[in-house]
Amino acid sequence: MWTEEQARSLIPDAGTLKRGLELASPSKWQNLGQTTEAAWGECAGSGSKPYLVGIDLGGGPAFKCSCPSRVFPCKHGAGLLILLARQPQLLSGTEPPAWLAEWLGKRQQTQEKKAVKAEEAAAKAADAPEEAAAPDAPAGAAVAPARRQRMARGAAELLTWLHDVMGTGLAQAEQQGAAFWEQQAARLVDDQVPGLAATLRELPGLRYAGADWPERQLSRLGELYLLARALLRLDELPEALRQDVLQLAGVNVKKEELLARQPAVTDTWLVAGQVSIEEERLLVRRSWLWGETAGRYALVLEFSFGGQPFATPLVFGARYRGGVVFYPGALGLRAAVGPDWTFRGLQTEQLPPATAPAELLDAYAAALGRLPWLREWPGTLAGMVPVLLPDGQVALRHAPTGQQLALHPDSPAGWDLLAASGGYPITLFGEWNGRTFLPITYTSAAAPVAAPTAP
């Protein structure tokens, strides 16, 4: 059964979501129906004829609408999906109309052809000689000599600037206006290291954001210093770490090249959690996948500008079958979804294997030792009891050991967790950043306790 959260995850455009919510009213619809594979309905519009709206639930999800919009889902598709999540009993029809059956049949034929091509490609790769199947070199961030020189100049100037900031002290930097940080960030962009500029632009926002903001700002400055030093000593780094440094500095690895030259890990993948962050007109989404056979996480990082749909229609709580290709790096965590990705349905209250807090912290420490700029580390925690602290904050206490973790300050889930728990242990999936835990989803269902799997 679809939840409203899952429905909203497929509608990145705020305007379409707003209009879809307005249309998620029974009075707007007629001839509603659903099967395990599809949902459909007719939505009243400004004209005499209603819009014919369909959703392929088994092979997508994918949307069809007779309106002229080129946005998928359009507001009518969004409205139908939200109505399905809120009031599924209203979609009482069981026989798909002819127009929907025809569309579903064409989609099925297309999916079958793609599956045959994928099988043929896999068989061809398996029969090919090993030396012919291997690429000349793995896909990775490549830098032209001229850009490399400019990047080194930018890193050196940043180091000088950081020495000046620390020499005068953070108390002096605190009194500076936005231009103090922006001018240095603009110089880094000019020197073609936008990754360093983006990190620098985060620093003003840390001021007064929590009682420990000076420590966090100092830590972020330390990350910048270490990254600039690493950028100046690229040739001395191991190849995997060199790729991380280049990507953090802003040198992109093209997804097409990655998929063509890196081996894929084919598995059944659970979308364990999603986090979306809006920055002006840019929507950034982190999707955490769990490979059920491989026993490892994959992080799919995607961007949506101006309300455009994400390239990969990942649904929180859904299972997919297909290949995932990992970006080169020390952790093998960030990944891209391959072309053979197929929807395998929704899962109810399923999470990756759980650990205790001590194991999560150990796994994070080991990963941080391999990648010093690590921001978030995924994990599932079992046996956690949300507790209300004297200062009004909510923390997570491990019932068997009493170990306590602070909640992320941006987490809105504190009181929800208290209500869901009722004083009893629950299981949560989320991100640990070295200081706090950000709950993404939670369930009271028991989860197996297992040692964390190395990436």
The yes-or-no verdict on residue 136 having pLDDT over 60 is no
* Range 261-346 has CATH code 3.30.70: no
3-class secondary structure, 248: helix
For the record, the structure tokens of 236 come out as 């001395």
Q: What pLDDT shows up at residue 139? A: 61
The yes-or-no verdict on residue 226 having pLDDT over 60 is yes
Using a pLDDT cut of 70, give the percent of the chain over it.
90
Q: What pLDDT shows up at residue 395? A: 94
Q: What pLDDT shows up at residue 123? A: 58
pLDDT band at 447 (very low <50, low <70, confident <90, very high): very low
Q: Rounded to 5 degrees, what are φ and ψ at 178?
A: -60, -30
Instruction: Characterise 441 by phi-psi region: left (phi > 0), alpha (psi -120 to 50), beta (else).
Output: beta
User: What is the pLDDT averaged over residues 122-137?
Assistant: 47
Q: What pLDDT shows up at residue 213? A: 80
Say what the pTM is: 0.81
Q: What share of the chain is helix, strand, coil (3-state, %, to 5)?
A: 40, 25, 35
pLDDT band at 102 (very low <50, low <70, confident <90, very high): very high
User: What is the pLDDT averaged over residues 293-306?
Assistant: 90
DSSP one-letter string for 312-342:
S---TTEEEEEEEEEPSSSS--BEEE-TT-E
Chain centroid, CA 92 distance in Å: 34
Q: What pLDDT shows up at residue 425? A: 92
Comparing 105-109, 170-174, 180-184, 191-195, the range with the smallest average pLDDT is: 170-174
Residues 6+ apart with CB under 8 A from 164: none
For the record, the structure tokens of 246 come out as 């280049």
Neighbours of 127 (CB within 10 A): 8
The yes-or-no verdict on residue 451 having pLDDT over 60 is no
Compute the distance between CA of residue 381 and CA of residue 402 in angstroms, rounded to an integer.
Answer: 13
Query: In the chain, what are the domain boundaries?
Result: 4-101, 145-249, 261-346, 357-443
DSSP one-letter string for 348-417:
SS--PPBB-HHHHHHHHHHHHHH-TT---EEEEEEEEEEEE-TTS-EEEEETTT--EEEEPTT---HHHH
User: What is the pLDDT averaged over residues 20-29?
Assistant: 94
The answer to whether 312 and 10 are in contact (CB under 8 A) is no
3-class secondary structure, 30: strand
Comparing 35-44, 64-73, 277-286, 311-320, the range with the smallest average pLDDT is: 277-286
Compute the distance between CA of residue 70 and CA of residue 220 in angstroms, rounded to an integer.
Answer: 42
Average pLDDT, whole number, for the chain?
87
User: What is the pLDDT averaged over residues 390-413?
Assistant: 90
